[in-house]
């Protein structure tokens, strides 16, 4: 029986040592060419692996990579309308009249005004109307028309000088 004891011990050693070895070989994958894993859309091409865990430092959350901001396109600008004509109420102008020479016209609020000058016999009461960029002053049946251009008043083809 001595031989059968050796046989049983030999089989036991082979089973105890051989089985784990056979299991390791069975689990080992067959050498093949690795295929790259598809990248997710959140991964950036130059992403680095996360830092290894260090027991001295507490683990900090990893911030996502900064996203590239796209500057908004400027809106096409609409052509700006011309500025509204200046309000001529409570202003005074000196202009050259073809018949009376230099005339000063004062325009008051409410459409009332006066004209005076060295060649006028007296101060003449009148009315004025502003329609957009056009000024019309009427006194004693006479009419003086002018055009407003920016902060200027043009009358009889000449610029009137603003007094106030």
Q: What is the CATH number of the domain that holds 101?
A: 2.40.128.290
More confident residue, 25 or 43: 25
When mean pLDDT is compared over 39-43, 54-58, 123-127, 149-153, the highest value belongs to: 123-127
Our measurement of the distance from residue 121's CA atom to the centroid of its chain's CA atoms, rounded to an integer in Å, reads 62
Residue 108's pLDDT band (cuts 50, 70, 90): very high
Number of structural domains the chain divides into = 1
Residue 66 pLDDT: 73
User: pTM for this one?
Assistant: 0.49
Residue 120 pLDDT: 86
In a domain, residue 70? The reply is no
In a domain, residue 110? The reply is yes
Residues 84-92: contacts with CB within 8 Å, 24+ apart? Answer: 85/130, 85/132, 85/133, 85/148, 86/148, 86/151, 87/130, 88/128, 88/130, 88/135, 88/148, 88/153, 90/164, 91/162, 91/163, 91/164, 92/162, 92/163, 92/164
In a domain, residue 127? The reply is yes
The pLDDT of residue 45 is above 60: no
In a domain, residue 35? The reply is no
In a domain, residue 64? The reply is no
Residue 112's pLDDT band (cuts 50, 70, 90): very high
In a domain, residue 65? The reply is no
* Dihedral angle computed from the Cα positions of residues 111, 117, 123 and 129, in that order, rounded to the nearest 10 degrees: -10
In a domain, residue 54? The reply is no
Widest CA span in the chain: 162
Which residue segment(s) compose the domain that 152 sits in? Answer: 91-162
């Amino acid at each position: 029986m001595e031989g059968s004891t050796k046989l049983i011990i030999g089989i036991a050693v082979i089973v105890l040592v051989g089985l784990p070895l056979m299991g390791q070989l069975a689990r080992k994958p067959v050498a093949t060419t690795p295929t790259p894993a598809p990248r997710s859309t959140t991964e950036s091409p130059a992403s680095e692996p996360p830092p290894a865990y260090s027991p001295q430092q507490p683990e900090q959350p990893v911030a996502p990579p900064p996203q590239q901001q796209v500057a908004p396109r400027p809106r096409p600008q609409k052509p700006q309308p011309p500025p509204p004509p200046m309000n001529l109420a409570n202003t005074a102008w000196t202009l050259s009249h073809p018949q009376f020479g230099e005339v000063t016209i004062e325009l008051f609020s409410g459409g009332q005004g006066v004209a005076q000058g060295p060649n006028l016999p007296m101060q003449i009461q009148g009315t004025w109307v502003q329609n957009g960029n056009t000024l019309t002053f009427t006194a004693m049946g006479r009419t003086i028309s002018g055009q407003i251009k920016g902060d200027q008043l043009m009358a009889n083809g000449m610029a009137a000088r603003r007094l106030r």
